[in-house]
Amino acid sequence: MERLKQAAAYTLQALRAAGADDAQVSCAEGKAEEFNVDAGEFSLIRSVYSASASMKVIKGRKKGTAAVNQLDKEAIDIAVAECIAAADSGVEDDALSIAALEENADFKEGSLVCDKAAFFDSVIRLTEDIKREYPQIMIEQLIATHSYGKHVVANTNGVLFTEEDGSYNVSVMYSAHDGENATSFNYFDYDFLDPRTDIIALEGVRAMLDRAVAELETRPFTGKFVGTAVFSPACLGDFLGIITGSFTGDIALIEGTSPWKNKLGEKVADERVTVSVIPHDPRIVCGERITSDGYRSEDFDIIKNGVLNSFCLSEYAANKTGLARAKSTSGCIGVTPGEKSLDELIAGVDRGILVCRFSGGEPANNGDFSGVAKNSFLIENGKITCPVSETMISGNMAEMLFHLRGVSAETVCDGASVLPYAAFDGVTVSGGAGDEATSEEG
């Protein structure tokens, strides 16, 4: 850590000497150890050693940023000159700032040293478990990584944070095959701390693999109806990621295109909806401790009981719009669970679809979305009846939040988020030959 502190101090000194009024720097080093499986077979072991220095300068109320992936003086000097040149070419802006000094801190957590042998054993066991329990599943690609990193954030206001952490991650993309019959791919991605983790036993993994095998009986959906979409935890996470970006993020608020721009403190969802950013939740693996602006990271609610509680703004966007800076810049999302089980939620659906992956175009600024419901199942008269392919769903995300049918009691934690299933009414489901069988229902 001392080397990083020295590099940070040198960078700030060099930026000051070059005329900076304010400057902030983040210096980092890391190492990743990675095992790869391709088409069901181990293919590659990869080791990556990295370093970086990212700097921001404010000079004459103008901003410049630069980054370099070496920490020696020569490399930093070049980056400093680039950073100052960028500021000189910039535009005066009173919203520019660097982090204010509050309370400095050092953070250290997780599995700092990779137990390569134990982790390799766990990954081998996962591939063998899948082969034995799910012979029809093909692991298209598996990437198992231990990531270790340390970094220093410092600025000319006296801010000095250090952080050191390490964790394991497994990301698996898979599909089911039976002769020439094959399903769409799906994937799961988990963070954890114990290299001996029984990966197939992580919550939600077997349920996803079970569904993949069931998808071998898929059939194209024909017709069109308006019904209930039940989103899987992973799919709900993707939707909430889009909503937080498009409705509460920097660009949407600076441009004024967010449909929620004037909704702070107002109802934007059903009162059962609470969406939080939870980097400090004990279930989250190595959650964010320092925001990208250089502040101590804290948990906060974006939507609390259906009311918009906070936007997800950087300090610049906050200064620009007169709104508050978000207390965390992490993507660790938690949704408060409901009281009904997933089975009970599905039992209440007359006609709908269980959506386990969404592959769609970028939603419009107002939340209009459409895309393919992948790895999905038709729900009829309270029961899952069959897996479907070539099926599209469309609707509006902002309206959907008001049309909540329910949130499941069970949640899935993948180490980066804690999410339930959620059912929304008013979603259009369509397939081929869409004109022949259309119906409308709430």
Partner 1 sequence: MDEYIRRALAGVMNHAEVRTQTMRGRNVSVVSGNLVGNSSFVSTGVGARFYQDGVWGFASSSGGGEENVKAVIASAKENAALLHSRRPKHKPALTNARPAEHREQTPFRDTDQKLLTDFARALDSHIETTYKDLASRSVVVRANCIEKTLYTAEGSFAYQLFPRVYVIVVMSMETADGATVELFDVLGGGAGYFTDYYSDPSQLYPAIDKLHTELAAKKEGVFPNAGERLCVIDSEIAGMVAHEAVGHTTEADLVLAGSVAATNLHKQVASPLISLTDFAHTAFGQPAPLPVYVDDEGTECKDAVIIKDGILVGYMNNLESALHFGMEPAGNARAYNYSDEPLVRMRNTALHPGQDKLADMIASVEDGYYLTKTQNGQADTTGEFMFGITMGYEIKNGKLGRALRDTTISGVAFNMLKTVDMLSDTVSWDFAGYCGKKQPMPVSMGGPAIRCKVNIGGR
Establish if 132 lies at the interface with partner 1 (CB under 8 A): no
List Cα–Cα distances, 16 to 56, 115, 329, 411, in angstroms. Answer: 12, 42, 27, 50
Can you tell me which of 193, 254, 386, 409 binds partner 1, judged by CB under 8 A?
254
Establish if 428 lies at the interface with partner 1 (CB under 8 A): yes
Nearer to partner 1, 348 or 371 (CB): 371
List Cα–Cα distances, 80 to 9, 58, 131, in angstroms. Answer: 13, 12, 53
Q: Which window, 11-19, 176-184, 264-272, 285-293, contacts partner 1 (CB under 8 A)?
A: 176-184
Q: What gap in Å lies between CA 28 and CA 3, rounded to an integer?
A: 10
The least CB distance from residue 345 to partner 1, in Å, is: 25
Q: Which window, 14-22, 75-83, 304-312, 415-423, contacts partner 1 (CB under 8 A)?
A: 75-83
Establish if 69 lies at the interface with partner 1 (CB under 8 A): yes
Establish if 440 lies at the interface with partner 1 (CB under 8 A): no
Q: How many CB atoms lie within 10 A of CB 394?
A: 14
Q: Is 166 strand, coil or helix?
A: strand
Can you tell me which of 14, 15, 130, 143 binds partner 1, judged by CB under 8 A?
143
Two tokens, residue 276: 């939080």
Q: What are phi and psi of 242, to 5 degrees?
A: -65, -45
Establish if 4 lies at the interface with partner 1 (CB under 8 A): no
Establish if 113 lies at the interface with partner 1 (CB under 8 A): no
Establish if 136 lies at the interface with partner 1 (CB under 8 A): no
Nearer to partner 1, 292 or 428 (CB): 428
The least CB distance from residue 125 to partner 1, in Å, is: 12
Establish if 44 lies at the interface with partner 1 (CB under 8 A): yes
Establish if 374 lies at the interface with partner 1 (CB under 8 A): yes
The least CB distance from residue 212 to partner 1, in Å, is: 12
Q: Which window, 4-12, 35-43, 206-214, 402-410, contacts partner 1 (CB under 8 A)?
A: 35-43
Closest CA to 27 of 176, 173, 154, 135: 154
Q: What gap in Å lies between CA 108 and CA 163, rounded to an integer?
A: 6
Buried/exposed code over 1-35 (b: 16+ C-beta within 10 A; e: otherwise): eeebeebbebbbebbeebebbbbbbbbbbbebbeb
Residues 311 to 370 in contact with partner 1, rule: CB under 8 A:
316, 320, 359-366, 368, 370
Establish if 63 lies at the interface with partner 1 (CB under 8 A): yes
Nearer to partner 1, 88 or 133 (CB): 88
DSSP state of 201: G
Total of chain residues touching partner 1, rule CB under 8 A: 87
Q: What gap in Å lies between CA 413 and CA 284, rounded to an integer?
A: 8
The least CB distance from residue 271 to partner 1, in Å, is: 23
Nearer to partner 1, 30 or 331 (CB): 30
In Å, how far from its chain's centre is CA 25? 25
- CB-CB contact of 233 with 405 (8 Å): no
Residues 387 to 416 in contact with partner 1, rule: CB under 8 A:
389-390, 392-394
- Dihedral sign of CA atoms 427, 416, 408, 266 in order: negative
The residue count of the chain comes to 442
Two tokens, residue 139: 């692991």
